[in-house]
Structures are given as structure tokens and as C-alpha cells.
A and B are shown apart, each in its own frame.
Chain A
Amino acid sequence: GAGVSQSPRYKVAKRGQDVALRCDPISGHVSLFWYQQALGQGPEFLTYFQNEAQLDKSGLPSDRFFAERPEGSVSTLKIQRTQQEDSAVYLCASSSSRGLNTEAFFGQGTRLTVV
């Protein structure tokens, strides 16, 4: 595709509900990243994939957060038993290189609101 695509754009979840956020990176991009952005803050790193391998998940805030990229293309970020503090914009980015030696392109984000 022309850019990084994320869906849904908006998600309202009741506390305790499980959610799944999808990211379609730019075709052929090796690296994929997930970030969490709280209101008024800069994005915070969650996890990094190189193809299908999750090489860094040190930014995931708890074991309720899980990410996968089984075929090295589309990625899903899953949050189990959502809490109010999970409310944020979740951004996905992709890069053509391994790591971040080249430009990172971001999607529009998914705004998650937990009520």
C-alpha cells in the first residue's frame, strides 16, 4: 500500500474487555514497531519486529499486552483485560531497513478509550 494503515481508527472498550489492533505496514518493509502515545506526550516504544521475529518487547507495559506478526507483514497488538490506563493512541511504524537506519513511517494510529 501507499502508507502504513491501522485499524480501527477508534475503539471504545469496556474495562476488562480484550481488544485487537491491526497494522498493515508498507509493503516489503522489514521492520515494524508499535508505540503508545498518551495525551500530550511523545510516543513511547512498545515492541519491535524484524520480519516475523519479535526482537524487542521490552516496552510492553504488562503481560496483558501481546503483539504478533506471524507472516512478517501484518501485525496485531492485543490487549487483554483492558484497564483505564491503557487509554491512549497506539501507533504503528515501519521501516525498510533492519532496525532504524532508514526513515520510519507511521500510521494514523488507533485511539483506544477504555470506559
Chain B
Amino acid sequence: KQEVTQIPAALSVPEGENLVLNCSFTDSAIYNLQWFRQDPGKGLTSLLLIQSSQREQTSGRLNASLDKSSGRSTLYIAASQPGDSATYLCAVTSGSRLTFGEGTQLTVNP
């Protein structure tokens, strides 16, 4: 059974700092990996999708990497802003389902 772990569970940083969120998964037989953002009381917003054949994807200040063989992904956020405060979820695709981690709750302080 696929298991996804995210570290740290919570992170608080000052505005402007660069930061890294970590995600690990136990079964490397995945189709892709997706990073989501969830604001309190809201649904999930897709940030980046990395196919299993890819090593990284970039969107604006976000960069996600994937090392499938070691079962790891990182989400790098450059020059963090208070508006980045949210819970970040990592999910891997196996078969017909996404398996999620429990998320990292990020707070960026002005």
C-alpha cells in the first residue's frame, strides 16, 4: 500500500525567505506526482504536476523536483510572501487514485 509522508508538518518563516517542503513515498511505481495548495475551508488548488519521467517542474516562484527511484519530491518556494500561507499537500498517482500526504502547514510572517 502506497504511503506518503510530508515533513515538516508545520513551518513558520519570515517573509522573503526561501524554503523547501519535503515529500516521500514508499512505492516508486507511480504515474506522476502532484503538489497542491489548500487554504482554510477551501478545496485543493493544483500547483505543479511532475510526470514520472520528469525530474522537475517550475511555475513562477515554485519549483518541484522528483526522484522516483528514492521515493522523494521537494517543493521549493522562492522569496516567500504572506499570501503563500496555506497547507501544501503532496500526492502520488498509482492506478486510478491519488494518495496524499497529511500536508505541511506553512505560515509566512510579514
**In the bound complex, do residue A103 and residue B34 qualify as a contact, i.e. CB atoms below 8 Å apart?**
yes
How many residues of chain B get a CB closer than 8 Å to chain A's CBs? Answer: 24
Interface string of B29-46 (1 = CB under 8 A from A): 001101010000111111
Q: Please give the distance in Å from B59's CB to the nearest CB on chain A.
A: 12
**Of the 9-residue stretches A61-69, A79-87, A104-112, which lies at the interface with chain B?**
A104-112
Residues of B within 8 A of A101 (CB): 31-32, 93
A31 to B95, CA, bound (A): 13
A106-B96 CB under 8 A given contacts A42-B102, A100-B31: no
Interface of B is mostly: strand
A43 to B36, CA, bound (A): 11
Query: Chain A: interface residue count, which band?
Result: 20 to 34
Residues of A within 8 A of B98 (CB): 33, 35, 43, 45, 93, 100, 104
Asked whether any CB of chain B lies closer than 8 Å to the CB of A72, the reply is: no
List the interface of chain B (C-beta within 8 A of A). Answer: 4, 31-32, 34, 36, 41-46, 49, 89, 91, 93, 95-103
Give me 29 A-to-B residue pairs in the complex whose CB atoms sit less than 8 angstroms apart, sorted by A's number. A6-B43, A31-B96, A33-B96, A33-B97, A33-B98, A35-B98, A41-B102, A42-B100, A43-B100, A45-B97, A45-B98, A48-B97, A59-B97, A91-B43, A93-B98, A99-B93, A100-B93, A100-B97, A100-B98, A101-B31, A103-B49, A104-B98, A106-B36, A106-B44, A106-B46, A108-B42, A108-B43, A109-B43, A111-B41
